[in-house]
Amino acid sequence: MTSKVNFVQINQEQSSSNNNAIDSEGNGMKTMATLLQNSIQGVQNSFSSVYTTLAANLKQSLEMTHTMNSVMEQFLLSNLRITSNITQIHKLETRGNFIPSLLTITIINSGQFPIPNISCSITFVKKDHNEPVNIGVECKESIKRGITNPDSETTSISSIFVPKTSTTTSIFTLSPQTQIIEKLKLAPSEFCQYNAKVNVRFASPGTGELLQKEHSFGLYLIDQCEKSVRFESQLTKYECSHVIVELSPYLLRQLWNVHPSSGLSEAMTFEISWKNEIYSLIHIKKWIGADKSKVLCQVLHFNNAKSSSEIIDRIVEELKVLSTNKNKF
């Protein structure tokens, strides 16, 4: 009886020991699983932190790159300048429908970096109707030279506005501290006022996006007329209508190419003609103001036709506006 009890007790103890071993092994597995889970979570947190930091750095780098590109683009555009000027030439230098005026366009890079892959274009629209029109353009001269030294070497180049063929576009690089000066002859199909625009385009060095800069100017009726100077003290012999206007003596000198050493006098008469037909004569009546900044002029109309009278009226208005616009010259 005693032996049987001991056997049962031994079995119970072994069973309890086995259960304890199983429990201990289970607890160890749980502990290991917990440690493994914590380790994985730690690694995930570390990677998440790395990814977050990397994303923030990449975003900051992209923003910095974008800012640098934007600054460089603004820098190049601010150093790119466009100017225009219209001067009279002798009618013997023209042919066909070309007007006796020369359009000079200057493209300047005043910065320290080259501007590559530049292309240029010029467009004209009728002022009254805002309609794009085709105007004949012929290059008289195109040169490149430095801007710091007036006596710097001048190099003749191909036209940047008039391509060799109708299917090609002139592409060029404008070096630092360099300017391109191009002189163009114009042949409008109609005698009217035009608004013109010069467009200079180039690709951004950073993004490749197209950047552009524009310059606008007017092609006036007075620019298209032939202008000459007579020496007649009196115009009373001409029987025609006239108006009295105040004009700038500086404007008269510039438009009629009167040399500064010659000055202006009341013996001068300024002739305006179109295709060998005299439209008007302008005669200085007297100087105005203590500084003589204005002259009182008599403008005579030679053609009584309504269309001619309207043209003269518009030319007079142009002269009055240009006399108050110091930026024109």
pLDDT 10s digits, 56-72? 767 666 667 677 778 88
Return the structure tokens found at 320. 């009055």
Q: How far apart are CA 140 and CA 89, in angstroms?
A: 12
- E-only strand ranges, 76-158: 80-88, 101-109, 115-126, 132-133, 136-146, 155-156
Place of tokens 């608004």: 195
Band of residue 27 on the pLDDT scale cut at 50, 70, 90: low
Q: Model confidence over 193-245: pLDDT tens digits?
A: 999 999 999 999 888 899 999 999 999 999 999 998 888 655 555 667 888 99
Return the structure tokens found at 17. 């020991």
Length of the chain, please? 329
Residue 88: how many other CB atoms lie within 10 Å: 19
The structure's pTM equals 0.75
Report the percentage of the chain scoring pLDDT > 90: 38
State CA 34 to chain mean position distance.
Answer: 68
Whether residue 328 has pLDDT greater than 50: no
Q: Model confidence over 160-206: pLDDT tens digits?
A: 999 877 667 889 999 999 999 999 999 998 888 999 999 999 999 88
Of 80, 257, 242, the closest CA to residue 173 belongs to 80
Cα angle, residue 16 at apex, residues 14 and 20 outer, rounded to 5°: 115
263 phi/psi in degrees, rounded to 5:
70, -175
In order of their start, the domains of the chain are 80-219 (2.60.40), 225-328 (3.30.310)
Whether residue 82 has pLDDT greater than 50: yes
